[in-house]
Chains A and B, each alone.
Chain A
Amino acid sequence: MMQSAQNGAEPILSVRNLKTYFFQDEGVVRAVDGASFDMYPGHTLGIVGESGCGKSVTALSVLQILARTARIEEGEIWLRRSNDNGQAERIDLTKLDADGKTMRSIRGGEIGLVFQEPMTSFSAFHTVGNQIIEAVRLHQALNKQQAREKAVELLRMVGVPQPERRIDEYPFQLSGGLRQRVMIAMALSGDPDILIADEPTTALDVTTQAQILDLLRSLQEQEGLSIILITHDMGVIAEMVDDVVVMYLGRVVERGPVDDIFHDPQHPYTKALLRSIPSIMASPRTRLSTITGSIPHPYNRPQGCPFYPRCPDFMPGICDRHVPGLQPSSDQRAVSCFLYNKPEPAAAADISQG
């Protein structure tokens, strides 16, 4: 699919038909309901969508750090890695025990994670240094002194001024921007190949956001990191990523290279979302284009295409009766919409019961 355009490179991470459901007393929430995408080495993949679209749960599923009520019901998450003997292999993360040795070495080792809120992701009772040192020693056989040197090195790499002094400070002594830098240093402590950044700049001011985005970009160049950037901010997507995955109610509605998504969006939701973002380049006091209605409650998912009740291109009898699948629309793009792929008459039983 997207492979041909990436100079034949193999994806480092492939997610196939991922379904992660939450089982709650009130019913089942299909938080991720059939997501598929590929991520290529050294690239930045952006996952964008509004609240409840499943973008964060997708990331948590990759790392298998889901809440107790959640379960991966279906699908595959293929990671390309070198095994203990240094040979390349592909493993399906969904088949691994979440608490097992392999998964624990991948989590924080090959895949690092940066959360949105650096204040709540750190322990308030330990210095940032001790927290980084702990993470370093989890994945590398270093003594305390070596680990401390490595931690100072990491802090310097992420642009923390006076790292030898800052390493002994507590999280509350650092500004929001510095805390996020320390969080990134911690995510890099296991020398990961993949960095998952879940809304890394959402809690930050715009000038601090610019600093952190610059940092992520230069780290990617230096370290050859592959980055999954999860955000609701189309501006951040436009600035940062190579490929975009647009999600709505747990499903990938469209994916493709960033320039295509912004300049030739195909799915009605992508189009509507792009039109509704306020622009710094607009004339003052211009009305924004809106999407009618609001995101459905997770217990009240519409039958058929999840977007049809809000869709300007709604086709009665088709969109409310069949669930569209993600179909390639060119060699690098895919879209999940009946405007581009009419349902097969035989697929009338397509509606999943729920």
Chain B
Amino acid sequence: MDNSDRLLEVEGLKKYFPIRKGFLRRTVNHVRAVDDVSFFIERGETLSLVGESGCGKTTTARCILRAVEPSGGTIRFRPKDGKPVEITAVPRSQLRPLRRQIQMIFQDPFSSLNPRMTLFDNIGEPLLVNGMTNREERMERVSELLERVQLAPEYMNRYPHAFSGGQRQRVGIARALALNPSLIVADEPVSALDVSVQAQIVNLMLDLQDELGVTYLFVAHDLSVVKHMSDRVAVMYVGKIVEVAETTTLFKDPKHPYTEALLSAVPKPDPRLRSQRIVLEGDVADPANPPPGCYFHPRCSYAVDVCKQESPHLNEITAGHFVSCHRAAEITLRGVTE
């Protein structure tokens, strides 16, 4: 199989955080934050990782940047001009060329910019670090980037405090774009913004993708924003991917009971659609002590005996639609109509 149009391939990724106790700080258990996660992202597309807090979506994203060290698995990255790189095998000292290719946009535009640096320094720093030492050259590039994110180049000499949340997020995007990366990992980039500003940033990100062909890994919990942003969606629950499909398919025809419950829990902005929501009982499983079998079975209304004993695997049930559920073939679930 030719995988050359896959920019990123993640296989069996694991990240276990140790729980230490006692005087000797002995490891007594592990939090399985990411537990055997596999997915791929094609060039130029947006893959969204969705799930609730603690499901491991952010840890997965950070493993890709090697901001945290994975405990196991492989992450293969195929830059357009160059050899495939095994991200997990690169020594720490040689990560810089890789990080030029993979950039990040953060959630909080208030704490992700240096308040003592002007926009020019904030955006220009990655350029300087990567060898663009000529100040004139940098100024030209920064003003070009500011225009790209629809900010006036004259703002270059101002400090972040002079800007609103939405404008700061634009600055964060400009900085991520500075080195022409092929992959941008965006971790909840619009969650901290007001609705009217959120819409502007979503549109900007879609426009930039059309213009520059950049690939996004979009980490989010808001399924409505995800619907607007993504080509494909991966749903995570307690460190595992439970379902992956094209956006339309996943929303219209979910195959995992957790996806169904997530979709049904989103409040619809129309009082005439006050629906019979599926309200899940109980809380998300503890990733340090997950239940046996399928991690979702204690909350799943479709669970049968096999779900309590055997953990399901991610199977491709139709082309491009992967589900990790013993009963995926036999149950009919409710999605969202367009």
Contacts and interface: CB of A to CB of B under 8 A. Distances in A.
A238 B279 contact: no
B203 A287 contact: yes
A205 interface: yes
Given A276-B198, A281-B337, 15 more contacts: A177-B283, A206-B52, A206-B266, A207-B261, A262-B271, A272-B196, A273-B196, A276-B196, A277-B195, A278-B198, A278-B227, A283-B338, A288-B228, A290-B203, A294-B197
B227 A280 contact: yes
B273 A284 contact: no
Interface string A277-302: 11111111111111100110100000
Nearest to B167: A294
A232 B277 contact: no
A209 interface: yes
Interface range on chain B (Cβ under 8 Å from partner) = 35 or more
Interface string A87-113: 000000000000000000000000000
A210 interface: yes
A282 B221 contact: no
A294 B268 CA distance: 25
A132 to B, nearest CB: 21
Given A50-B194, A234-B195, A273-B196, A281 B268 contact: yes
A167 interface: no
B267 A236 contact: yes
A277 B229 contact: no
Contacts of B277: 210, 214
Contacts of A50: 194-196
A51 interface: yes
28 contacts: A50-B194, A50-B195, A206-B221, A206-B262, A207-B280, A210-B265, A210-B280, A211-B279, A211-B280, A214-B279, A235-B266, A238-B270, A239-B267, A272-B196, A276-B195, A277-B224, A277-B269, A278-B227, A279-B227, A281-B268, A281-B336, A281-B337, A282-B227, A285-B206, A285-B228, A285-B229, A287-B206, A290-B203
B215 interface: no
A278 B265 contact: no
A291 B166 CA distance: 12
Contact of A205 (B221, B227, B338): B221
Contacts of B262: 206-207
Interface in B197-226: 197-200, 202-203, 206, 221-225
A235 B268 contact: yes
Interface string A259-283: 1001100000000111011111111
B224 A238 contact: no
B26 interface: no
A36 B337 CA distance: 38
Interface centre among B52, B251, B267 (most CB of A within 10 A): B267
A133 interface: no
Contacts of A288: 198-199, 202-203, 228
The 10 closest A-B pairs by CB, nearest first: A235-B267, A288-B199, A205-B52, A278-B224, A291-B196, A50-B194, A210-B265, A284-B247, A276-B199, A239-B267
Contacts of B231: 284-285
A177 B281 CA distance: 11
A235 B269 contact: yes
A276 B195 CA distance: 7
Nearest to B264: A210
Contacts of A234: 195, 269
B157 interface: no
Interface in B130-176: 164, 166-167
Contacts of B265: 206-207, 209-210
Interface in A162-192: 175-178
Interface centre among A280, A295, A297 (most CB of B within 10 A): A280
A275 B203 CA distance: 14
B274 interface: yes
Interface centre among A205, A274, A295 (most CB of B within 10 A): A205
Given A206-B52, A206-B223, A274 B269 contact: yes
Nearest to B278: A210
Nearest to B281: A211
Nearest to B190: A278
Contacts of B272: 259, 262-263
A284 B247 CA distance: 7
B248 interface: yes
